[in-house]
Amino acid sequence: MKTAGKVVAGTTAAAVILAGGYGGLAALRADRIAAGTTIDGTPVGGMSLSEAVTNVDAASKAMLSKPITISTDRGAVQIVPADSGISLDTSDAFAQLTGFTLNPAQLFQRYTGGGPQRTARTVVDLAALEQAISTAGEKLKGAPVNPTVKFIQGAVQVTDGEPGTGIDAKAVARQIAAGWPKTTSFKTTLKQTEPEISQAEVQTYLDTFANKAMDDPVTVQVHSQKVSLSTNVISDLLSTTVKDGRLAPVVDEAALDKELAEVAGSLVKAPQAARIVQAADGTRTVVPGTDGYSVVTKGAGDKLLAAITAPDRTMTLDTTVVKASPDNTSANSVGTQLMSEFVSKFPTGSSNAARTHNIKTALAKMNGVVVQPGEQFSLLKTLMPIDAAAGYVKAPVLSGGVDVLGMGGGISQTSTTLYNAVFFAGMQLDEHKAHSFWISRYPMGREATLSIPNIDNKWTNDSGHPVLIQAGIEGHAAVIRLYGTKAFTVTSTTSAPFNIVAPKVQHIATAGCINQPAVNGFDVTVTRIVKNLAGQIVKNEKVTTHYQPADQVICTGETADTSKVPTKPSSGSSGGSD
């Protein structure tokens, strides 16, 4: 009995050892795929699961990017599987290729080879595949032609479709779904085919969207501010595509972003940095800065499409807060030296009251602004939004050489005053545009207009010290003084006018016509020599300005020619807030 007990015990121990060894062998290969294993022909044997997934994904992408050729008796066309509703699902192909197993057959494969040959599951979106085949087939001569709906210069333009001989997209899609990826070339015969888009579908699209799109302008609203997108602008933003067998509008998002950026000037509120207000006796008071906001244009395309069919035709844009610069301004942070001063007289009387109001409003927005060393100042950014809510009113502005009423008329006088103050302070002039027509109250060749959104007055403080702008009305003049630490001396000359062109006479009967005198057109050259305090020349500039002749305007009840009568300010005209 003792001997038998020893035999049993020994046998049990040996079994345990063998079992443990077998389990150890199984564990050693648990994270490796059996040698000889392939997925869609891609070898993955001996790899870890993550390595295999990476290799198979790369092979699948290559397979999906290889074109499928469709041959007909009129030529061949190609489609790319990845762009045509075809994909590969490899998830099932990796099932149980790794992981701990005591299955003798699987364990034998992992050590000796002979792994399984697996394939990924082909997934086909038949509707997308048919659409891709139809689109490719349009390139064949004699193929049916879909009707088109275009938006051109504020109007809808429709072109009828035409039947033809084309690919039977449904039949070929079924062939490809059954034969790909083993087969990448397919043959088919052409058949008489109607356009994919019917005339009934065109009429539905016209009734529900296209005609409405060109009915009226669309209003863009930000808080209480509003601007309009004209039908001409909207037509440049829209096109039509075929989606799921139906006509659908497409918005050019990049063009819309650009358009909104151009009109956003009147919709945003720029942050205001802390200001220093200086009294007549030199006493200074710090006014804290305030935050502003900018317009969020992401998703604006969908909002435009919704506005086109909405009763109020309004798209409301969201805003995001723009924080004011950190308040590091103190009453003593800016030098007290007078760097320059410029006085610009303006016309008075009741007829100029609105214009004077705008000048005063604009000067108040500049007053107390501190421009740090190296900082670029933008007048347009400082004054916007230029609308009634910001305190501006309508007053005469130049358009095509003729005075018409426009919001903020007169603020070019503040621009000219600032330009000259910076000019004689010797600082860097970055961007300005003179009026297209000379206005006698401004220095020839040394004046600057403004126009939203792209005519600005910009300059950079290169004095090396902070500069304080003091701006206001004194008597019947706009006055701007720049305080800081004087760094430059300036000398300037202005040539006599040359290349003189005589004006004409216009008789205008339009309501709101404003009489104006004739002014010659001419060229004039202004030079500026700027020296540092050591007497060295640091800027030597020469600018020639061209002025167009301004016609004499006589307002009458009758006119033989109204073709030159402006109805609204036009971009790139005379430019100006007068």
Q: How confident is the model at residue 112 (pLDDT cuts 50, 70, 90)?
A: low
pLDDT exceeds 50 at position 315: yes
Q: What is the pLDDT of residues 364-385, one digit of tens each?
A: 999 999 999 999 999 998 988 7
Residues whose CB is less than 8 angstroms from the CB of residue 194 and which lie 6 or more positions away in sequence, other chains included: 144, 163
Residue 124: its pLDDT value, please?
93
At 99, is the pLDDT very low, low, confident or very high (cuts 50, 70, 90)? low
Distance CA 430, CA 493 (A): 20
278's CB contacts (< 8 A; 6+ apart) are 284, 368, 468, 470, 483
% of the chain exceeding 90 in pLDDT: 45
pLDDT bucket at 483, cuts 50 / 70 / 90: very high
Model pLDDT for residues 199-223, shown as the tens digit of each residue: 999 999 999 999 999 999 999 988 8
Position 15 scores a pLDDT of 42
| pLDDT the model gives residue 327 | 61
Query: DSSP assignment, residue 390?
Result: G
Q: For residue 228, what is the enclosing H or E element? A: strand 225-229
54-90 pLDDT per residue, tens: 988 999 999 999 999 999 888 899 999 999 999 998 8
Q: How far is CA 265 from CA 121, 259, 460, in A?
A: 54, 11, 21
On the 0-12 / 13-18 / 19+ scale of CB atoms within 10 A, 135 is middle
User: For residue 449, what are the β-bridge partners?
Assistant: none
**Residue, of 504 and 480, whose pLDDT is higher:** 480
For residues 242-256, give the mean pLDDT. Answer: 91
Q: Rounded to 5 degrees, what are φ and ψ at 563?
A: -65, -25
3-state secondary structure of 102: coil
Kindly report the backbone phi and psi dihedral angles of residue 166, in degrees, each rounded to the nearest multiple of 5, phi listed first: -145, 180
Higher pLDDT, residue 268 or 374: 374
Q: DSSP 3-state assignment of 522?
A: strand
* The pLDDT value given to residue 527: 98
* CA torsion angle 39 43 48 54 (round to 10): -70
Specify the range with the lowest mean pLDDT, choosing from 38-52, 458-472, 530-544. 38-52
What the block records as the tokens of 350 is 């009741």
Which SS3 state, helix, strand or coil, does residue 59 take? helix
Stated as kind and residue range, the H or E segment containing 4 is helix 2-28
- Looking from the CA of 55 toward its CB, the CA atoms found within 13 Å total 17
Q: Check whether 330 has a pLDDT greater than 60.
A: yes
Look at residues 357, 491, 496 and name the one whose alpha carbon lies nearest to residue 413. Answer: 357
Which has more pLDDT, 388 or 488?
Answer: 488
Specify the amino acid at residue 382: T
Specify the higher pLDDT residue, 413 or 19: 413
Residue 398 or 305, more confident = 305
- Distance of alpha carbon 480 from alpha carbon 241, whole angstroms: 56
440/561: higher pLDDT: 440
Which pLDDT belongs to residue 104?
65
Closest CA to 447 of 339, 571, 344: 344
φ/ψ of 187, rounded to 5, equals -115, 145
Q: Which of 346, 421, 407, 340 is nearest to 377 (CA)?
A: 421
- Residue 323: pLDDT band (50, 70, 90) is confident
Model confidence over 145-199: pLDDT tens digits?
Answer: 889 999 999 999 999 988 888 788 889 999 999 999 999 999 998 888 888 889 9
Q: What 8-state DSSP symbol labels residue 41?
A: T
Predicted pLDDT of residue 18: 43
Furthest CA-CA distance within the chain: 139
CA distances from 497 to 46, 258, 261, 519, 521 (A): 88, 39, 38, 12, 9
Q: How far apart are alpha carbons 473 and 153 in whole angstroms?
A: 46
The tokens for 525 are: 């050259």
The amino acid that residue 242 corresponds to is V
Burial of 77 (0-12, 13-18, 19+ CB in 10 A): buried
Q: What is the pLDDT of residue 244?
A: 83
pLDDT grade, residue 577 (50/70/90)? low
Residue 473 one-letter amino acid: I
Q: Which of 145, 146, 144 is nearest to 191 (CA)?
A: 144
For residues 199 and 197, what is the distance between their CA atoms, to the nearest angstrom?
7
Question: What is the full DSSP assignment across 447-510?
Answer: ----BTTTB--EEE--SSS-EEEEEEEETTEEEEEEEE---EEEEEEEPPPEEEE---EEEE-S
Place of tokens 């595509």: 241
Say whether pLDDT at 126 is over 60: yes
